[in-house]
Structure 1
Amino acid sequence: MRESTHHGPEPRLGLTFSQNGDGTVSWHQPVADQFVDPSGRFATGALAVLVDSGLGAENHRRRPEGMWTVTTELRLDLLARPREGSTGLGVRTDHLGDDGHCLTTRGDVLDDDGEVVAAGLVKSMEIAGVVDPDDYDDEPPWPSALAPGTLAEVLCLTVDHHDDGPGDTRAVEAVIAPEPALANPLGNLHGGVFAAVAEVAGAAVFPHERDVSSSSLDVRYVRQIPLVGPVTVRAEALHDGRSWGIAQAVTRDARGRVCAVASVTVYGRR
């Protein structure tokens, strides 16, 4: 078997996959420092690439012949943090179907003792004429190339706080450096990376005195996110109550058009 040429965010985050005898695919992600955001919080967003890749792969392998797939929607709900001492996470998938235009798979993120820590859903649109899908399907499993550091370091991310949100509220701008290893096979920013950064920026909008526990992440991908330069994800609060908050995170292209938008819901009393 030829060596893998994939150098995307999956191996950078330590994600690996293996083919099972029954034709299914098993995914694994180690629990390490890449789950820690700049505030020291366990970041739900660190699960986004695992969910996007694992569930998206189930959609991709069921696509019609000659077609490619791109993620259009991603949802991730944190149910519990990985238990103390956990060494890794896996994915259990449930493909829901294909309506002739989009494929949908839901699934669970499992701790190494089989406990569910998160639930996810990925919707993928079928498109033609993008790349050679058969050549990509021949890509063998890649080795883990887990980059050391926290989530911001692994994703080449800087986070800045501002006071120019609506009504002089808090806003956060997270800037992703144009690191080629954060790209998808088409050379644009990987959808799971945007989701991860949106969750980090969205949670950071809320005051540090709040014990923030990110509970859900809902992403819509409108168009490709170019990675020819730094990518800015701006998050602003839509609701900042005593017990929970909602933030919106957006990234735009050079023409000011929305490329992707995410809703981040956090729970935790002030």
Structure 2
Amino acid sequence: MPYPLNTPLGRFGVETLEDGAERCVATIPAAGLTNPLTGAATVAPLAMLVDHVCGLVNHRRRGTDEWTVSSELSLEIAPDAAHAIAAAPQERVTGIAQPLGAKFDVALAQCRLSVAGHDVATATVHSFYITAPAGLSAWPEESHGSLPGPDLASLMSLERGETGGAAVVLMQKTDDALNNSVGVVHGGVSAMGLELVGSAAVCAAADAAFRTASLRVNYLRPFHSGSGAHYEATTLHVGRSSGVAETRAVGHDGRDALVARLTAYR
């Protein structure tokens, strides 16, 4: 099932193949996309797919008048993931998600990602259940407009930020096509933003190419785009073989909406 281009899932080409409480399957195109800060091939789209396919499993387990909110996303990436994606440019990354354990006020879903039959990542998403909020906006059923451009910066409405310090920054401009049904930046989009700045920070500090190995995201509050909204990263450690960056997404109100830790290896 393809989605309209003026939705977050449609913007990044996500397609859902199976949709149920016990198993969800979805795909995303990932080959040829690069980090706007480094110019290197990026695995950031994997975070978008994980947020969707795992979040969908948790969402399908909701009760009457319940809604889901993602609270944690954990992504473990194989060392050869970027190579496997680049080696099969016409193939989409496939995510297969299933529930892990029983549903309480919180649920956990796990998934495995592969491309052309080659496993490239595993991931989990925790979601908690709330009373379905009033005024939910249904995503449009038909596409309007066109894609802004093939590069990731255009697709995500990002621009490089100036800090004058050690942090690496990307500004998140307002784009309604990136918002979820409650009018805030989609969790998969914001997780991608954190991967981009985190990996760029490690590579800049090391002055070498490092591969993202893991991304662990905590969703603290809704992330609103607009004036001043941005992703930023600083390094906690960079050695000859590994690096760790601390990242955060800051809303237009100046408050941290997401925080994450990224680990990368040479």
* TM-score, normalised with respect to structure 2: 0.85
3-state DSSP of counterpart to 1:70 = strand
Preserved CA contact (<8 Å) 2:225 2:251: no
Aligned to 1:125: 128
1:265 and 1:188 map into 2 onto residues whose CA distance is 27
Residue 30 of structure 1 corresponds to: 29
Instruction: Select between 191-200 and 253-262 the one with higher mean Cα deviation.
Output: 253-262
Gaps spanning 5+ residues in structure 2: where?
none
User: RMSD across aligned C-alpha pairs, in angstroms?
Assistant: 3.0
* Cα offset, 1:153, TM superposition: 2.0
- The match for 2:158 is 157
Matched, 1:115 2:114: no
Aligned-pair CA distance for 1:40: 2.5
Would the aligned equivalents of 1:16 and 1:141 in 2 still touch at CA under 8 Å? no
* Partner secondary structure for residue 53 of structure 2: helix
CA-to-partner distance for each residue in 1:161-217, whole Å, 9 max, x for gaps? 6552xxxxx310110110111111110011111110111101111344312111111
Q: Would the aligned equivalents of 2:24 and 2:98 in 1 still touch at CA under 8 Å? A: no
**Aligned match of 1:233:** 231
Give distance in 2, aligned partners of 1:228 and 1:29.
Answer: 27
- Assess if the C-alpha contact under 8 Å between 1:13 and 1:147 holds in 2: no
Q: How does 1:55-66 map to 2 (within 5 A)?
A: 55-66=54-65
Aligned residue-pair number: 256
* TM-score, normalization by structure 1: 0.84
Structure 1 residue 228: Cα displacement: 4.6
**Match for 1:199: what amino acid?**
E
Identity of aligned residues (%): 28
Contact 2:20–2:57 (CA<8 Å) still a contact in 1? no
**In structure 2, do the counterparts of structure 1 residues 177 and 64 end up closer, same or farther at CA, with 3 Å as the change threshold?**
same
Aligned to 1:45: 44
CA distance in 1, matches of 2:66, 2:46: 27
**Aligned twin of 1:259:** 257
Moved more, 97-106 or 177-186: 97-106
Equivalent residue letter for 1:115: H
Deviation at 1:249, TM superposition (A): 0.9
CA distance in 1, matches of 2:41, 2:122: 16
1:207/1:51 CA distance change after superposition, 3 Å: closer
- The whole-number CA distance in structure 2 between the counterparts of 1:23 and 1:252 is 34
Residue in structure 1 matching 2:107, options 97, 103, 108: 103
Deviation at 1:5, TM superposition (A): 6.5
Contact 1:18 1:141 in 2 (8 A): no
Judged with a 3 Å threshold, the aligned counterparts in structure 2 of structure 1 residues 230 and 27 are, in CA distance, closer, same or farther, namely farther
Partners of 1:11 and 1:146 within 8 A in 2: no
Give the alignment of 1:77-88 within 5 angstroms. 77-79=76-78, 80-81=81-82, 82=85, 84-86=87-89, 87-88=91-92
Tell me, in whole angstroms, the C-alpha distance in 1 between the residues paired with 2:24 and 2:147.
Answer: 20
Query: Quick check: 96-105 or 214-223, which moved more?
Result: 96-105
Match of 2:241 among 235, 238, 243: 243
Residues in 2 aligned to 1:76 and 1:117: alpha-carbon distance in whole angstroms? 11
Q: 1:13 and 2:12 equivalent?
A: yes
252-261 or 236-245, which moves further after superposition?
A: 252-261
Instruction: Say if 2:96 is the partner of 1:92.
Output: yes
User: Structure 1's 231 and 21: CA in aligned 2 closer, same or farther, altered over 3 A?
Assistant: closer
The runs of at least 4 consecutive aligned structure 1 residues that moved more than 6 Å come to: 3-6, 20-23, 138-143
Q: 1:118 to 1:238 in 2, by over 3 A?
A: same
Aligned CA distance change for structure 1 residues 204 and 5 (closer, same or farther; 3 Å): closer
- In structure 1, C-alpha distance between the alignment counterparts of 2:222 and 2:133, rounded to whole Å: 12
Q: Which runs of 5+ in 1 are unaligned?
A: 165-169
CA pair 27-178 structure 1, distance change in 2 beyond 3 A: same
